[in-house]
Amino acid sequence: MDYAATLLSKLPGASRRDHGLRRLVETLESYLPAGQVPAIVGAYEFGAAAHEGQTRKSGEPYISHPIAVAQYLAEMHLDAEAITAAILHDVVEDTEASLGDIRERFGDEVALLVDGVSKLDQIQFRSRAEAQAESFRKMMLAMIEDIRVILVKLADRLHNMKTLGAMPIESRKRIARETLDIYAPIANRLGINRMKVELEDLGFRNLHPMRYRVLERALKKAKGSQRQFVKRISETIGKALAGEGIEGDIIGREKHLYGIYKKMAEKKRLLSDVVDVYGFRIIVNNVSTCYQVLGLVHGIYKPMPGRFKDYVAIPRLNGYQSLHTTLFGPNGLPIEVQIRTRDMDRVAESGVASHWQYKAEDKADATPQRRAREWLANLAELQGTGSSEEFLENVKVDLFPDKIYVFTPKGDIIPLPKGATTVDMAYAIHTDIGNHCVAAKVDRALVPLRTRLANGQTVEIITSKGARPNPNWLNHVRTAKARSAIRLHMKQMRASESIDLGRRLLDRTLKDLGASLRKIGKVRMKTALEELGLNNEAELFEQLGLGERLAPLTARFLLGIDEQGESAPSQASLVIAGTEGLVVGYGKCCYPIPGDDVMGYLSTGRGVVIHRTNCGNLSNFRKHSEKWITCNWEKDIDREFSSQIQVDTYNRPGVLAEVAATLADCGSNIEQVSVLTRHEDCSVLSFLLQVRNRTHLARIMRGVRKMPKVIRVSRDCA
């Protein structure tokens, strides 16, 4: 009896069923010390008991899912703790077992990994977009603590994608889009090519099933002739290697469907143009042999100019290394060739998970792990004051890098996205250098900071202690790190300056009224803040400094001074955001309604009077800029407002009654009507109406305009 069977035979009752455990144990035996495998089988026993009676939508026992996730990670040679966490990753969320039970049975490290994976799905959100962004944000933060969390999550997503057929079509498409937008790029960014390819093809199949089937059929038809062609080229290259005494494996690369689809969509190519490109991978023993083989294949087939890339000397951001070249093959067909060592091939397929020895210090600085950790550490700098959706968009930029490589004056290589500027370079070196940069030299020549960089340039950043980021840089930078750092600095400066300005404005206004901030007292200030819906004095001062509230009105409110002679409706103070508890009226010169762009004007004896921004009377008030306040309408206003329209009609009997009837049919009451002018052929009528908002008014005007006796309808504005 083999080792796996022996372990299985010791499991009690229902846990003895295989569910893929035999295959998992055999994989684990190939690289883990034998003493660690029984503990993993114990995790299976614990998980099987916890999930007993639960099934997937496909009808399979639930435990088959975590075992499949563990199998993916075992094939990447992850450590015992990660495999154990994979088996238990749904236990806390879907069963009665607690995190404390896992910690007690399997240790702190496994409990932290399980918690890192399971907590991502426990948060409630107001919208689907927020849910996706927030869970993505938390996943990234968890990754910064331990990369194994995202490896478990990626394997979890991969198995879910393989069993997506049991889900409703809407759910399949949503999950497929999320996989293509988020998870496949993360796998690519971490260099896990095998998982990235599978996630992309599964996402493509579920998001665009018809396109997938068309491409799949076309590839199957083309494979017969391709097989002979690939065999002939492989034999030719093999003979050349043998002639030089070089040991190497030659593999004809399979094209994956999503890669073909993307190439067709992005480069507007026909299917035949994409399918007829042949790919080969040559794997040799050492780096020097890679370059020797490159010369050899260039001697057999002519290389295409400008199509050679050396990712061995300058690896990609995710640690990928290989020589790429494109050749003119037989009959002029293009041949894509990748040349790499066996270690490079392992990194290309498994990325950050290759050579995985999580606790071994001598491996802590290995290229793929180091590069992945550098990227993950940078994500911490994006955790500024932005929203989760903004964070998601920032990180998406870095997940799809079209890369360039530039050099510092000392020869250090800085990888950047294509189109990056010298400011991106400054922030890539360090946030402080970006915040204080004033100029840059590219290949020793001074250039503007908005200059886009190209491959191989040497860039020197010039800084000054007194310099600060320029908001205009946001129009030019490409990297998420630069954009996030600039925005954060702007927000901090704006808030600090606004608070100081608001404090001074309010104190000066209070002194004009015979009081001061000190005399207001903490009790009155606290009560006022509660009535205004603010958390602290800093928020009030910031709003005053930004012009969102007027200091004279706020001062009167704090002192309890009422304006006299106000005739505005009592509920008006609830309609304009930023004027809560203050007297608000509406200009009778322009009759503003919800949906209009508006400004507020501090009028003596009337409080704040709201005008449309295109009101003709605004020119009379321009010289009193200190009395203006920026206003916005509150959402979901449930009341009516006065609005005026002018109707030009043919001078026919009964036309006024017909227009009035149409207005009533549109749900509007007429407050006032007057005849402005009357000629032999036409009349100009003015109606003062009750409307809810701009949409309601537009519907009224469309209804009137359709009348056969109406020439023109317009909205009055002085």
Sign of CA dihedral 166, 169, 174, 176: positive
Among 439, 421, 440, which residue's Cα sits nearest to residue 481?
A: 421
Identify whether the C-beta of residue 598 lies closer than 8 Å to the C-beta of residue 610.
yes
Q: Rounded to an integer, what distance in angstroms lies between the CA atom of residue 272 and that of residue 277?
A: 9
Main-chain phi, psi angles of 445, to 5 degrees: -110, 135
> CA 532 from chain center: how many Å?
34
Judge whether 34 and 82 are in contact, CB under 8 Å. Answer: no
Give φ, ψ of 603 to 5 degrees: -110, 130
In whole angstroms, give the CA distance from residue 361 to residue 463.
Answer: 37
Three-state secondary structure readout of 587-633:
CCCCCCCCCCCEEEEEECCCEEEEEECCCCCHHHHCCCHHHEEECEE
Contact 328, 268 (CB under 8 A): no
Quick one: 246 exposed, middle or buried, by C-beta within 10 A (0-12, 13-18, 19+)?
A: middle
Catalytic, out of 18, 26, 60, 94 = 94
CA-only gyration radius of the chain, Å: 35
Going by C-alpha positions, the residue among 237, 223, 352, 226 that lies closest to residue 283 is 237
- First CA to last CA distance, the chain: 96
Q: What is the C-alpha to C-alpha distance for residues 75 and 72, in angstroms, rounded to an integer?
A: 5
Q: Is the dihedral of CA 467, 473, 479, 483 positive or negative?
A: positive
Does residue 716 have an active-site annotation?
Answer: no
Phi and psi (nearest 5°) for 98? -105, 165
In the set 93, 130, 343, 460, the catalytic residue is 93
- Residue corresponding to tokens 């088959």: 64
Contacts of 402 (CB under 8 A, 6+ apart): 417, 418, 419
Q: Which residues pair with 309 in a beta bridge?
A: 324
Q: Is 93 a catalytic residue?
A: yes
Backbone dihedral angles phi then psi of residue 645, each to the nearest 5 degrees: -125, 155
Instruction: Report, as residue numbers or ranges, the catalytic residues.
Output: 93-94
